[in-house]
Structure 1
């Protein structure tokens, strides 16, 4: 009833994940690789602080002090490569399997519908083909590599904050005041993307239908000389998303510029308050060393970069949710005449 009224019901994230449940072991391995990558950034912050401390030593001790840390960097490179390979391979395979499964389910549902359903404009051959090719592939944006990226960022940010509190809790508390501002910037960017996704996707579906139907029937189109009509219809459909994109771009640019400006303001606070801590006498509660300040600085910067990457997850997730809503609304539709049903009266022996 909701679908007939033009309102597509929301599908839960749990149901999307259940559709990918056969690949649970691939997803588990991929998330393990993401956790490994999440540990790398905080570990790098620790090593970076130790190396800076070594550079403050006498010249004769610098090379001997750097050798073990250089070996650690080599080890980090191997671990990063292995973790990235596991994450990309496992989550990529799981996502492609989900796409193939949704396309199979959707096509089987197409064949199940009654003839009156295909008479609707939104269920034309072009629109249904676009739904198979586009919507099914977008759904993995909620369960595939982007989910791994979100896990990696969450682990990195959590460990970065823990390390920052251990090395300089006062500086970390000062920088913590910027966290709500970063969250606001990410929220604004998410809202700007989410509001424009549904209408632009609908327009793209109609435009794709026009292209497919005109090319499939190109001989008829050419014989009737109506190429310009199809061209005009296509340009009219894509003009709307183009204008909305022009309106959306300044909003997204302002949100991105706001988040980047706040990030550099965080640099000012880090070095300003850090300089104050370094000048305090040992034993003072506000005292901190040069290397500790840089450990906090590096950890917080990676955490801030992680927050920026997390906001880039929002557009793909919003698109995935919209596509999942359309696909599962189709899968849940019960046709008035079910071609797959074996219920009802059955004819007897027709040979007599």
Structure 2
């Protein structure tokens, strides 16, 4: 059975990645085309705003469209895969022993709570990182566009220091994101193992009282814990997805 599941997974995973990759590539091409069309039809005063400089607009065309692509590609494929896992897990568990399944479902929201808290913490840092990335791109664009002036005043070192400072600020934000994400990931494992311990305890009590069999306990346990892993992996990408949704929408707000 394991060998058969492995062969089926190999085929299904390859087809899934290919189809979502094609869909994402076509979407990113369409979004960039529509966004660039909107940019070239803006009034002259619109380009006087520092937020709409050539470097900032170029960064938006590059990063925002790619963010939408990631939503349609691996992220959306993972969401659909986890939804299927949850549905199958619930069906198997309730068919095996509905009383034990209800008890385990009562503690599974701990995993979802971890993903929600991680998303709320990461939400504020993502917006700041996007602004700093655009500022670094603007410094590089201005320096290259006015390279004769920079060379005439021997300001290469000053320009490099400015660009390096912008990149360091972005790096510091990335480190903070990693710490917060790691803390949320660690909490998810705590919740996961505590849930496992509680489920085995309840299962042992039911077996002792004759309300469940050994086979039913393990069937319900593995069905629901695999579903919990699917929910946890979906919630771990929640912050990025939410930020990417905001980035993608900004393409059309132009």
TM-score (norm 1): 0.67
Residues 145 and 252 (structure 1), Cα distance of their counterparts in 2 relative to 1, 3 Å cut: closer
Partner Cα separation in structure 1 for residue 123 and residue 79 of structure 2: 18
- Deviations, residues 294-314 of structure 1 (Å, cap 9, x unaligned): 222211221111011111231
Is 1:198–1:322's contact at 8 Å kept on the other side of the alignment? no
Work out whether 1:103 is the aligned partner of 2:32.
yes
Q: Pick from 67, 90, 98 the counterpart of residue 169 of structure 1.
A: 98
Q: Pick from 176, 186, 195 the counterpart of residue 257 of structure 1.
A: 186
Partner Cα separation in structure 1 for residue 144 and residue 236 of structure 2: 36
Is 1:142–1:320's contact at 8 Å kept on the other side of the alignment? yes
Task: Quote the residue 2:239 is aligned against.
Answer: 315
Task: Quote the residue 1:209 is aligned against.
Answer: 138
Aligned to 2:237, the other structure's residue is in SS state helix
Task: Quote the residue 1:287 is aligned against.
Answer: 212
- Deviations, residues 123-175 of structure 1 (Å, cap 9, x unaligned): 22211111111111111233333112111101111220221122122322221
Is 2:79–2:234's contact at 8 Å kept on the other side of the alignment? yes
- Segments of structure 1 that go 5 or more residues without pairing to the other structure are 1-71, 331-352
Q: Displacement, 1:270?
A: 2.4
Is 1:186–1:308's contact at 8 Å kept on the other side of the alignment? yes
> Equivalent residues in 2 for 1:1-352 (5 A)?
72-280=1-209, 284=210, 286-288=211-213, 290-330=214-254
Partner Cα separation in structure 2 for residue 84 and residue 216 of structure 1: 45
Task: Single out whichever of 268-277 and 236-245 deviates more from structure 2.
Answer: 236-245
Partner Cα separation in structure 1 for residue 175 and residue 8 of structure 2: 42
Is 2:112–2:232's contact at 8 Å kept on the other side of the alignment? no
TM-score (norm 2): 0.90
- The alignment yields a C-alpha RMSD, in angstroms, of 2.1
Higher relative contact order (CA 8 A, sep 6+): 2
Q: Displacement, 1:254?
A: 2.9
Aligned to 1:225, the other structure's residue is in SS state coil
- Segments of structure 2 that go 5 or more residues without pairing to the other structure are none
Is 1:87–1:145's contact at 8 Å kept on the other side of the alignment? no
Larger radius of gyration: 1
Q: Displacement, 1:216?
A: 4.4
Q: Displacement, 1:242?
A: 3.8
